[in-house]
Structure 1
């Protein structure tokens, strides 16, 4: 299989120039009937560079996007990547205090907002010392169209950060993960050199981007599509019917979390959908239950199904479980997250920092050219995550087999993944802790048929107080995003603790996970 893109480009400026010449009329972005060709994408991103200049924004400055997935965001991202401006997409499901924290942390001078988020963006902007300018989507599109495409601009150095994705932190506040052009392109060439079939794209292929752009699983797909000169079909947000329609209309590749995939294959329309276009379906953020895989294979018999594992800090995928390792009858390897992709080194390390013996549990550590530049303004967090030898410590506990397959066992950091969204207990606990009747709180993830995991709060009352669980849920909902809000609350007499007084979340979780194969749903 030949790949037309043999050039070792590692920069969006070069990529956009290349495809504007090679496939000027090919659709690059497609959303709600709006199409942007590669010629348009090259011109529009230069117009955005001119717009940035008008607002005094240049290399190293931050701009933010608050909105759902949008072809406008894609173009802001590409323009930033060409120039070395850093774009920070903000999760639209977040509560106003969370949005405010991220906008303040970025120091963004400009906030672009989807129309339905303009009011909240303006309200939050007023509370910030930086007083960013908020530009709504309609206004932005008009302002961009009125610009003359910039010609003379210094393009970003390959290692300059251009994308800043926020990942929830175990300490409560999210951290800005800085990714550069070099990070975004680093594994392309090793994958092509290894002749991985799923690394080769046909000119009429189409990447479906339905996962949120504030996650690497959303923006990462835009990245892959544009790098390969194919069409990127942008869905504002995931919904099962939208995915089924996109597949019928030519989507050939997609990434989806298992909880969302279940909604797709069980949708009434799935039975009459023609899935023959879909070449590769990537899933991740949680393992694929065998019964769901069987349903997927029955529904999409000609699709290659592949599990991927990675994190924001590794620019996404660092291990894969290829289609050949998936079997309709189930097999041992399907319990794994696969093995390192070409160009990546994986080690499972014991508490002594040395590689653990095969089959013994340890922490997944990753050395990859895709490892982030670092956390924005958090040098200590950066050095505690990436060691001096360049190994990034993921916080995921796993065992490795003799063939290099990694079996994730649990989360060292207690993270909960609900419907593909990461929730850190500490963040939810600090939101609930101020409730006047609560003495102590611990947040855990429990199994959920629909979401993989759901958030549960275990609380101890202050003496002389009583608690209504619904009141706790309502209190949390005002302070954190709905997906972080507990779905249920247990009022307990006391917290289980270890000798040093640390709450044993694992002990609180145990009764709910009995009979499950592992502590990660």
Structure 2
């Protein structure tokens, strides 16, 4: 049966689209009762679960936007976001609310009229080794700000929203705060453009190559724009099965492919590296032949990693360059990637790119400059929670997020690095992503990040932070020995840090400001 959402775990929870719509209408009625209407905001503080997309559908019925909150964050870090976006209602898994210490800060958000606590499903408790499923001091009482989501849906006479869905307002994402406090990305409502819900439906075919009966897997945190948007494409398509895992585990992923005959998956580079480091006995144990499309975005995918994955699974891997502010901008297939190593592809239909110099002049083919993009299908955005917008963010209809790259003679885009991450040492431009793609291949290295710090002689010097693989260690001399013949000497790190773990998001984005901060104290 196509179009079913599956919550993965030891026992599989299945929801048909009719069941999801029924629950969404109950939630939508409750939102309307709380005064939620056009362009209001609903906040979602939940681990990966099917319920998220029922709440999203409910928001479509009442015409509200929704903010997906990073559940790794403590409440005190989320309160400013709730305050900035003006959230009226919050949905939260109960294990994420730590009693009065969390409820008290939430009571200070002036716009918040209701908090629906959701019993954390057994599949999530098992995966995260949690035992306490009712961390609130007591069940919410009727009439109080705190409501019980499960009771709402289980009520025998629950009222349902009776009107058709409104124009989809979509996700109201916030940046991760890697360069400061999180900023809201609020898209203008432009009635001259198609309903965004129809755009996501179109992307299910144009970007994801989905067709009736396909089965899509996602385990990356759904508060991130890319995995959420791709799952939303499946919801909008209406005829795709979706398998939601609470978190990524490399062997379990292989098991899921065999068990559910998965056809499509969202896999980021850090997941690929973990898969490639599995013993050959595990890698060859499962039948993965059903998988025919896997998309990566969100962080740089090293060419060697991509090639190794293609050699293992076949030419099923696609990479896209995208951003929360703009959406998916390019796409490249496995066949193209083998011919154009390290490229992220050409613009998708409706997208256009420009490579401009610092003085806003067009760069020649092959010259590195700042990447500007325009996607005709999405309305422009504005940042909230910020004191100003950089003057060079926009050039006409084109927008940059500070990434640097170049376009070759065939129109393929290559990303060099973030402009803010580029290291200028002794007058030479050094791109950390290039160095990281070489170091990550060392057997001693499980994870790495390259960044620049101030240096009296050269302006900046190259530093690498490394998380060693189990049972291994690393010295700067061993590192330099490995880099010989692979990178020019001026790109070699001058300093090596060994850390237990790097401050990296599950999707691969690393907080380099936290690594640099150690050198500025």
Residues 53-68 of structure 1 aligned to structure 2 (within 5 Å): 53-68=32-47
Query: CA 1:265–1:171 in structure 2 vs 1: closer, same or farther (change >3 Å)?
Result: closer
Give the Cα–Cα distance (whole angstroms) in 2 for the partners of residues 384 and 209 of structure 1. 37
Task: Tell me the residue number matched to 1:394.
Answer: 401
Contact 2:36 2:62 in 1 (8 A): no
Give the Cα–Cα distance (whole angstroms) in 1 for the partners of residues 57 and 95 of structure 2. 23
User: Given the two structures, how large is their TM-score scaled by the length of structure 1?
Assistant: 0.70
Task: Tell me the residue number matched to 1:84.
Answer: 63
Query: CA 1:304–1:491 in structure 2 vs 1: closer, same or farther (change >3 Å)?
Result: closer
Contact 1:44 1:145 in 2 (8 A): no
Partner of 1:113: helix, strand, or coil?
A: strand
Task: Tell me the residue number matched to 2:342.
Answer: 335
- 1:443 CA displacement: 13
2:88 to 91, 109, 115: 109
Query: CA 1:385–1:30 in structure 2 vs 1: closer, same or farther (change >3 Å)?
Result: farther
Residues 250-289 of structure 1 aligned to structure 2 (within 5 Å): 250-268=261-279, 269-289=282-302
- 1:341 CA displacement: 0.7
Contact 1:473 1:489 in 2 (8 A): no
Task: Tell me the residue number matched to 1:325.
Answer: 336
Contact 2:369 2:406 in 1 (8 A): yes
- 1:123 CA displacement: 4.2
Task: Tell me the residue number matched to 1:309.
Answer: 321
Task: Tell me the residue number matched to 2:216.
Answer: 207
Give the Cα–Cα distance (whole angstroms) in 1 for the partners of residues 289 and 14 of structure 2. 23
Per-residue CA distance 1:434-486 (angstroms, 9 max, x = gap): xxxxxxxx9998465789xxxxxxxxxxxxxxxxx99x999x99xxxx97598
Query: CA 1:486–1:200 in structure 2 vs 1: closer, same or farther (change >3 Å)?
Result: closer
Query: CA 1:385–1:294 in structure 2 vs 1: closer, same or farther (change >3 Å)?
Result: same
Residues 23-422 of structure 1 aligned to structure 2 (within 5 Å): 26-32=3-9, 33-119=12-98, 121-138=102-119, 139-146=148-155, 147-152=158-163, 155-157=165-167, 161-169=169-177, 172-179=180-187, 182-183=195-196, 185-186=198-199, 189=202, 199-228=208-237, 229-248=239-258, 249-268=260-279, 269-301=282-314, 303-315=315-327, 317-327=328-338, 331=339, 333-371=340-378, 373-375=380-382, 377=384, 381=388, 384=391, 387=394, 389-414=396-421
Partner of 2:170: helix, strand, or coil?
A: strand
CA-atom RMSD in angstroms: 4.0
- 1:152 CA displacement: 2.4
Give the Cα–Cα distance (whole angstroms) in 2 for the partners of residues 123 and 483 of structure 1. 31
Query: CA 1:40–1:321 in structure 2 vs 1: closer, same or farther (change >3 Å)?
Result: same
- More displaced stretch, 224-233 vs 94-103: 94-103
Per-residue CA distance 1:397-426 (angstroms, 9 max, x = gap): 11111211111112113399999x9x9x9x
Query: CA 1:444–1:142 in structure 2 vs 1: closer, same or farther (change >3 Å)?
Result: farther
- 1:378 CA displacement: 5.7
Unaligned runs of at least 5 residues, structure 1: 1-22, 426-441, 452-468, 496-521
Query: CA 1:168–1:371 in structure 2 vs 1: closer, same or farther (change >3 Å)?
Result: farther
- 1:233 CA displacement: 0.8
- 1:373 CA displacement: 4.2
Report which of the two has the higher share of helix. Answer: 1
- 1:210 CA displacement: 1.0
Give the Cα–Cα distance (whole angstroms) in 2 for the partners of residues 107 and 144 of structure 1. 25
Query: CA 1:487–1:346 in structure 2 vs 1: closer, same or farther (change >3 Å)?
Result: closer
Give the Cα–Cα distance (whole angstroms) in 2 for the partners of residues 75 and 444 of structure 1. 47
Contact 1:170 1:413 in 2 (8 A): no
Per-residue CA distance 1:308-334 (angstroms, 9 max, x = gap): 11000013x11111122133xxx5x22
Contact 2:197 2:236 in 1 (8 A): no
Per-residue CA distance 1:38-77 (angstroms, 9 max, x = gap): 1112222222211111222112111111121111111111
Contact 1:191 1:342 in 2 (8 A): no
- 1:166 CA displacement: 0.9
Task: Tell me the residue number matched to 1:435.
Answer: none
Give the Cα–Cα distance (whole angstroms) in 2 for the partners of residues 190 and 239 of structure 1. 27
Per-residue CA distance 1:257-300 (angstroms, 9 max, x = gap): 11122112333433312111111111123333343234323431
Give the Cα–Cα distance (whole angstroms) in 1 for the partners of residues 26 and 247 of structure 2. 27
- 1:28 CA displacement: 3.5
Query: CA 1:399–1:174 in structure 2 vs 1: closer, same or farther (change >3 Å)?
Result: same
Unaligned runs of at least 5 residues, structure 2: 120-147, 423-431, 441-446, 452-459, 470-496
Give the Cα–Cα distance (whole angstroms) in 1 for the partners of residues 246 and 379 of structure 2. 27
Contact 1:31 1:71 in 2 (8 A): no
Give the Cα–Cα distance (whole angstroms) in 1 for the partners of residues 163 and 201 of structure 2. 28
Query: CA 1:255–1:164 in structure 2 vs 1: closer, same or farther (change >3 Å)?
Result: same
Partner of 2:55: helix, strand, or coil?
A: helix
Partner of 2:396: helix, strand, or coil?
A: coil
User: Given the two structures, how large is their TM-score scaled by the length of structure 2?
Assistant: 0.70
